[in-house]
A and B are shown apart, each in its own frame.
Chain A
Amino acid sequence: MTMTVHVKLYSRFRRHLPKEAQGEANVELPEGATLARLLDQLNISGRVQLVSVNDEPEPDRDRILQQGDNVRIFPFVVGG
């Protein structure tokens, strides 16, 4: 059984999706998959600064995702 979560990637992480996706995609995962699994599948490692699930910051990478979750992922970003 699979489920679909909606992800939005920011800054350099957008390059983990095809350009035309403009940083957004529906990602299929096995049911019961964790946040860590999602990051793995997207090939995101390194300096992750913030992940939020359904508008709440989620520091726990073992969080089990649900069908239809909205996930936003930010690398360490800066600007002046």
Chain B
Amino acid sequence: MPYGYTGKVLHVDLTTGKMEVEEPGEGFFRKYMGGSALGSYYALKLMPAGTDALGPDNVLVLSLGVTTGAAISGQSRVTATAKSPLTGAIGDAQAGGFWPAEAKGAGYDALVFTGKAEKPVYLWISDGQAELRDASHLWGKVTGEVDAAIKQELGDEKVQVLQCGPAGEKQVRYACIINMSNRANGRTGMGAVMGSKNLKAVAVRGHKRPEVADRKALAALARWGAQNLEDSGVYGMTLNGTADVLGYQNEVGGLPTRNWESGSFEGYEALTGEVMTDTILKEGDTCYACVVRCKRVVETEWQGHKVEPLYGGPEYETLATLGSYCGVSDLDAVAYANQLCNMYGLDTISAGATVAFAMDCFEQGLIGLEDTGGVDLRFGNAEAMVQMVEQIAQREGFGNVLAEGTGRVARRLGPEAEKLAVVVKNHDLPAHMPEVKRSLGLIYAVNPFGADHQSSEHDPAYEGDFDGYRERLAQLDLLEQQPEFSLSPEKIRFALYTEQFYSLLDSINVCQFVYGPAWHLYGPNQLVEMARAVTGWDLSLWELMKVGERRLNLMRAFNTREGFGREDDVLPPKLAKPRKGGPSEGMTFEPEELERAKDIYYGMCGWDQQGVPTRAKLEELSIDWVAEAIGL
């Protein structure tokens, strides 16, 4: 019996209802670890090139990792991988909560879904036994209702439910997957893929998780985490959630405002994590075994609508995209829109960003009241923002247009609208501005699933000399702190090495607030200690970093096969125009700077100048089968 993981992958053919258990062996798990590396492996192996992302040939993988379910902070994560209906590239999203740890106990490290069920179904796994059940009566219901209904019909309150909401059923291209009614595999439309397969939910219950190799070592590390939490950089999130950063972002001109017109928002104060703590916060919440407790549970009201604790509370990204992106400074309105996203299963980032883009088009006269169904889509109009989120979630009215995503709507509206679309590979930019975090701009452009803020360490960690963080970055051979706003070769090394490290985190599948290269609760060497204690493997940081690099190459190879290349690794034109007002007044991110950085980055990756992994690189990573898969 392996330590930490079950060794079992469940393949579910939704077309035939047939299920098979694969046991790929220890070598496979040590090489791919889980999460996104494992998901990308199956996506590449099982999916033909050019697959319709919303068709039955798409392959949806829900994967845990070799340490999921162990008694330590930050391990309860699930990754969703499939071809993205939003980007056409590899899709990838992580979520925490209690579902992942429970799923491990239910007996599998990964679930691989192929085909399409004839009628809505849900998968029920209980202590290794898997069964597809009818979900017709759950179709069209919001997440909270479905969660309760499944628990009731299975007669066990401890069942954990992961599901696509009504937005996923209706195949909104940025529909997400939700567990616990408030945790999201948010990005790249993985909920739409679930919906397209008529897969409503996956319910899990398990009474026995795999043994851990060295319980004492794991307990000592867990104790260290609890004792050092207050000194750790992540502690601000314990106090105020991820929105702890919002005030700072505004202070440095890095809070995207009115669809990225500006980096500072005059109404920011109402949206800070501190204000949320002082006003609508009911309590903090957590994921299985995590001492950080960064999750928010809020309770309030907006225009007679209740905002219920069941649906959690807004993250920083949500406060920015549904708030400052739209020029909205009404915390209750944002909390209510956040609840709608969690009820219907919508990615809050793309939902807010798409509404902000539509507001920009409206303000510029590219669309009018006749297009919006009479909704006055002006920046700052909280009612209009909420109304649009609701319409998108249900694919009603103008929301049905916006459900296609910013990039597609922009192309439909023409070149003037395209200039306002703040996307990379059709993926809306999250709320960290490359103008003030230059290496993040490079990562936004090259990241395989589109612009993402959780795929590398942000620049400030390598721009100041912070006690404790310096030593951890040194573990990744990052020794020379760089000046503010630089995109030097040394900064590009920082971007690449931390990208590979974050890629590892998404493969071993742990929380990027708990484990990381600087301010996190645990540093790189402690991640190695944790993984050794759980699996019993004699692991090193070298070996783990290779897993991260392997994942990036698998994803890149998937995209190569789908026709993506260097020309897709670009930032939106709006970023080349000067920001207006506040500390980032006049700042830009020009294409020339990005192209120079890409030359260096591709070279450092061992890719050709089209951004395609070379055969030698794939061989070096011991995945030469990928070269055949993409015809190298």
Asked if B248 contacts A50 (CB within 8 A), the reply is yes
Asked if B244 contacts A78 (CB within 8 A), the reply is yes
- Residues of chain B within 8 A (CB-CB) of A57 are 251-252, 583
Question: Is A11 located at the chain interface by the 8 A CB criterion?
Answer: yes
- Residues of chain B within 8 A (CB-CB) of A75 are 236
Given contacts A11-B244, A47-B467, A74-B248, contact A80 B454 (CB under 8 A): yes
| C-alpha spacing A10/B513, complex, angstroms | 19
Asked if A11 contacts B239 (CB within 8 A), the reply is yes
Asked if A10 contacts B274 (CB within 8 A), the reply is yes
| C-alpha spacing A47/B454, complex, angstroms | 22
Question: Is B464 located at the chain interface by the 8 A CB criterion?
Answer: yes
Shortest distance in angstroms between A76's beta carbon and chain B's nearest beta carbon? 6
| C-alpha spacing A46/B274, complex, angstroms | 20
Interface residues on A, range: 20 to 34
Asked if A11 contacts B512 (CB within 8 A), the reply is no
Asked if A49 contacts B464 (CB within 8 A), the reply is yes
Question: Is A77 located at the chain interface by the 8 A CB criterion?
Answer: yes
Shortest distance in angstroms between A61's beta carbon and chain B's nearest beta carbon? 14
Partner of B242, one of A23, A72, A76, A79: A79
Asked if A77 contacts B248 (CB within 8 A), the reply is yes
| C-alpha spacing A22/B469, complex, angstroms | 28
Report B56-101 residues with CB < 8 Å from chain A CB. none
Question: Is A34 located at the chain interface by the 8 A CB criterion?
Answer: no
Question: Is B519 located at the chain interface by the 8 A CB criterion?
Answer: yes
Asked if A22 contacts B519 (CB within 8 A), the reply is no
Report A41-67 residues with CB < 8 Å from chain B CB. 46-47, 49-50, 52, 57
- Residues of chain B within 8 A (CB-CB) of A10 are 244, 247-248, 272, 274
Partner of B278, one of A22, A46, A47: A22
| C-alpha spacing A52/B234, complex, angstroms | 23
Partner of B239, one of A12, A46, A78, A80: A12
| C-alpha spacing A74/B466, complex, angstroms | 14
- Residues of chain A within 8 A (CB-CB) of B512 are 80
Report B563-600 residues with CB < 8 Å from chain A CB. 583
Q: Which residue of A lies closest to B513 (CB)?
A: A80
Question: Is A37 located at the chain interface by the 8 A CB criterion?
Answer: no
| C-alpha spacing A76/B231, complex, angstroms | 11
Question: Is A6 located at the chain interface by the 8 A CB criterion?
Answer: no
Report B399-416 residues with CB < 8 Å from chain A CB. none
Chain B CB within 10 A, most for which of A12, A49, A80: A80
| C-alpha spacing A12/B235, complex, angstroms | 8
| C-alpha spacing A11/B247, complex, angstroms | 9
- Residues of chain B within 8 A (CB-CB) of A49 are 248, 460, 464
| C-alpha spacing A75/B274, complex, angstroms | 13
Asked if A22 contacts B274 (CB within 8 A), the reply is yes
Question: Is B348 located at the chain interface by the 8 A CB criterion?
Answer: no
Given contacts A76-B519, A80-B317, A80-B512, contact A23 B236 (CB under 8 A): no
Question: Is B233 located at the chain interface by the 8 A CB criterion?
Answer: yes
Partner of A72, one of B245, B251, B467: B251
- Residues of chain A within 8 A (CB-CB) of B350 are none
- Residues of chain A within 8 A (CB-CB) of B453 are 80
Shortest distance in angstroms between A16's beta carbon and chain B's nearest beta carbon? 13
- Residues of chain B within 8 A (CB-CB) of A72 are 251
Report B155-183 residues with CB < 8 Å from chain A CB. none
Question: Is B240 located at the chain interface by the 8 A CB criterion?
Answer: yes
| C-alpha spacing A14/B241, complex, angstroms | 15
| C-alpha spacing A52/B582, complex, angstroms | 13
Report B247-293 residues with CB < 8 Å from chain A CB. 247-249, 251-252, 272-274, 278
Partner of B251, one of A12, A23, A74: A74
- Residues of chain B within 8 A (CB-CB) of A74 are 247-248, 251
Question: Is B422 located at the chain interface by the 8 A CB criterion?
Answer: no
- Residues of chain A within 8 A (CB-CB) of B446 are none
Q: Which residue of B lies closest to A80 (CB)?
A: B242
Question: Is B332 located at the chain interface by the 8 A CB criterion?
Answer: no
Asked if A78 contacts B278 (CB within 8 A), the reply is no
Shortest distance in angstroms between A20's beta carbon and chain B's nearest beta carbon? 10
- Residues of chain A within 8 A (CB-CB) of B519 are 76, 78
Asked if A80 contacts B235 (CB within 8 A), the reply is no
Shortest distance in angstroms between A78's beta carbon and chain B's nearest beta carbon? 6
Partner of B467, one of A46, A52, A77, A79: A46
- Residues of chain A within 8 A (CB-CB) of B466 are 47, 76
- Residues of chain A within 8 A (CB-CB) of B458 are 78
Q: Which residue of A lies closest to B231 (CB)?
A: A46
Chain B CB within 10 A, most for which of A22, A57, A72, A77: A77
Asked if B274 contacts A14 (CB within 8 A), the reply is yes
Q: Which residue of A lies closest to B316 (CB)?
A: A79
| C-alpha spacing A26/B512, complex, angstroms | 38
Given contacts A22-B278, A47-B466, A80-B513, contact A11 B240 (CB under 8 A): yes
| C-alpha spacing A22/B277, complex, angstroms | 10
- Residues of chain B within 8 A (CB-CB) of A46 are 467
Asked if A12 contacts B513 (CB within 8 A), the reply is no
Chain B proximity mask over A17-31: 1 for CB below 8 Å, otherwise 0: 000001100000000
- Residues of chain B within 8 A (CB-CB) of A22 are 274, 278
| C-alpha spacing A74/B274, complex, angstroms | 12
Given contacts A14-B274, A22-B278, contact A78 B467 (CB under 8 A): no
| C-alpha spacing A53/B246, complex, angstroms | 19
Chain B CB within 10 A, most for which of A11, A14, A74: A11
Q: Which residue of A lies closest to B583 (CB)?
A: A57
Asked if B245 contacts A78 (CB within 8 A), the reply is yes
Question: Is B506 located at the chain interface by the 8 A CB criterion?
Answer: no
| C-alpha spacing A14/B274, complex, angstroms | 9
Residues of B participating in the A interface, judged by any CB pair closer than 8 Å? 233-237, 239-249, 251-252, 272-274, 278, 315-317, 453-454, 458, 460, 464, 466-467, 469, 512-513, 519, 583
Q: List 6 A-B contacts (CB under 8 A).
A: A10-B247, A11-B247, A76-B469, A78-B233, A79-B236, A80-B513
Residues of A participating in the B interface, judged by any CB pair closer than 8 Å? 10-12, 14, 22-23, 46-47, 49-50, 52, 57, 72, 74-80
Given contact pairs A78-B233, A78-B236, a sample of 18 additional A-B residue pairs in the complex whose CB atoms are under 8 Å apart? A10-B248, A11-B273, A12-B235, A22-B274, A22-B278, A47-B233, A49-B464, A75-B236, A76-B233, A77-B248, A78-B244, A78-B245, A78-B458, A79-B241, A79-B242, A79-B315, A79-B316, A80-B513
